[in-house]
């Protein structure tokens, strides 16, 4: 099969790769579409110890079952593979499973990803494509599940309803835009601001949101004025911005993974009883709920997605890296 293979820091090669071998309780899916995630970019930059080259990245995947159960069925993949037996899996919190692995990782267990013509997936991680969801857009289900989980975590810790709350979303990538869309269209939040320094991406967000979209240094973004802040970037500078902007008693929902550490105002967090919540993925229930809301077009038509050929994937990564790409999400088509 053909695949886009991560071969070294900032290096991707479109080349022949061995087909996956069918094993019990798994199926081989012929990939229709696969999205580029921020964590794929971390690997591309050589900053993810779980993804070591050579490796096929990509975990936001839709396709058609090629071999295994229910051949020919159109499907969407939940790439988060868990043990099913631990206390977290048994309590519906499988996203916290200590043995969780993801498609497109090779540590601790090798799982080739979806930037390829074929991918091997456990049957329990395969979901039938909803009738009203475009199979090419369907890979957006995975980041939408991440965003839905994050928004609902924020909702649990609010001291008021989202309808009454003031929310700041830091970052206009896919997760940031999806969080803002869910807040607007699902949670009926009336006051949302999205901040993004890339003016091309900011323009895309502005066209798809009713909420205010602005640059991070906008003087209207007053310190200590937001009930909840979603940091979808995860840089030291965005964490610093989040703690400045959050109100006393408010919450920071930290979704981004760009920088693992850095300076943070723990004094304000302590004195003003700010809740800091880290979140990375989602539960199976979140994924199922996401497919329902996408099939009903509840967060819009998703026209902000950009499609590229898998063979041109290396250039897409490069453009995301250098900031010349305006699309919050690029989906690659084999």
Mark whether 133 and 12 lie in a shared domain: yes
What's the number of domains the chain is made of?
Answer: 2
pLDDT tens, position by position, 183-219 = 999 999 999 999 999 999 999 999 999 999 999 999 9
Mark whether 155 and 266 lie in a shared domain: yes
Residue 307 is part of a domain; what is its CATH number?
3.90.180.10
| Domain assignment present for 272 | yes
Q: How far apart are CA 183 and CA 211, in angstroms?
A: 10
Mark whether 203 and 101 lie in a shared domain: no
* Alpha carbon 198 to its chain's center: 19
Give the pLDDT means over successive 10-residue stretches in the chain (334 positions).
98 98 97 97 94 97 96 98 96 96 94 98 98 97 98 96 97 98 97 97 97 96 98 97 98 92 96 97 97 97 97 97 94 98
Mark whether 16 and 74 lie in a shared domain: yes
pLDDT tens, position by position, 254-278 = 998 889 899 999 999 999 999 999 9
Provide the Cα torsion 130, 208, 241, 163; round to 10°. Answer: -70
Beta strands in 111-235 (DSSP E): 118-122, 126-128, 166-170, 191-195, 212-214, 226-231
| Domain assignment present for 284 | no
Q: What was the pLDDT predicted at 186?
A: 97
* Domain span holding position 271: 146-278
Q: What's the DSSP call for residue 111?
A: B
Q: What was the pLDDT predicted at 101?
A: 95
| Domain assignment present for 293 | no
Residue 255 is part of a domain; what is its CATH number?
3.40.50.720
| Domain assignment present for 283 | no
| Domain assignment present for 288 | no
Q: What was the pLDDT predicted at 257?
A: 83
| Domain assignment present for 52 | yes
| Domain assignment present for 251 | yes
């Amino acid at each position: 099969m053909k695949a886009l293979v991560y071969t070294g820091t900032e290096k991707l090669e479109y080349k022949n790769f061995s087909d996956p071998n069918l094993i019990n309780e798994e199926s081989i899916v012929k990939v229709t579409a696969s999205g580029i995630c921020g964590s794929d970019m971390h690997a591309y930059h050589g900053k993810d110890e779980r993804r070591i080259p050579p490796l096929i990245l990509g975990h936001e995947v839709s396709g058609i079952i090629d071999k295994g159960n229910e051949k020919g069925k159109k499907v969407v993949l939940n790439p988060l593979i868990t043990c099913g037996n631990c206390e977290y899996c048994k309590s519906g919190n499988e996203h916290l499973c200590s043995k969780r692995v993801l498609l497109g990782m090779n540590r601790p267990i090798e799982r080739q990803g979806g930037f390829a013509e074929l991918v091997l997936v456990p049957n329990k991680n395969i979901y039938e494509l909803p009738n009203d969801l475009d199979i090419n857009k369907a890979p957006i289900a995975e980041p939408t599940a991440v965003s839905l989980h994050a928004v609902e975590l924020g909702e649990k810790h609010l001291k008021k309803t989202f309808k009454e709350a003031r929310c700041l979303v830091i970052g206009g990538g896919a997760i940031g835009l999806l969080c803002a869309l869910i807040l607007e269209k699902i949670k009926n939040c009336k006051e949302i601001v999205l901040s993004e320094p890339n003016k091309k991406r900011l323009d895309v967000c502005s066209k798809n949101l009713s909420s205010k979209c602005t640059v991070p240094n906008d003087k209207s973004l007053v310190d200590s004025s937001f009930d909840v802040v979603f940091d979808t970037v995860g840089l030291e500078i965005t964490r610093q911005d989040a703690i400045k902007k959050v109100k006393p008693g408010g919450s920071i929902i930290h979704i981004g993974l760009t920088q693992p550490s850095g300076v943070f105002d723990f004094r304000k967090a302590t004195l003003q009883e700010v809740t800091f919540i880290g979140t990375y993925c989602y539960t199976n229930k979140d994924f199922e709920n996401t497919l329902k809301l996408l099939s009903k077009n509840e967060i819009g038509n998703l026209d902000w997605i950009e499609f590229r050929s898998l063979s041109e994937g290396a250039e897409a990564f490069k453009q995301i890296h250098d900031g010349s790409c305006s699309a919050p999400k690029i989906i690659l088509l084999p």
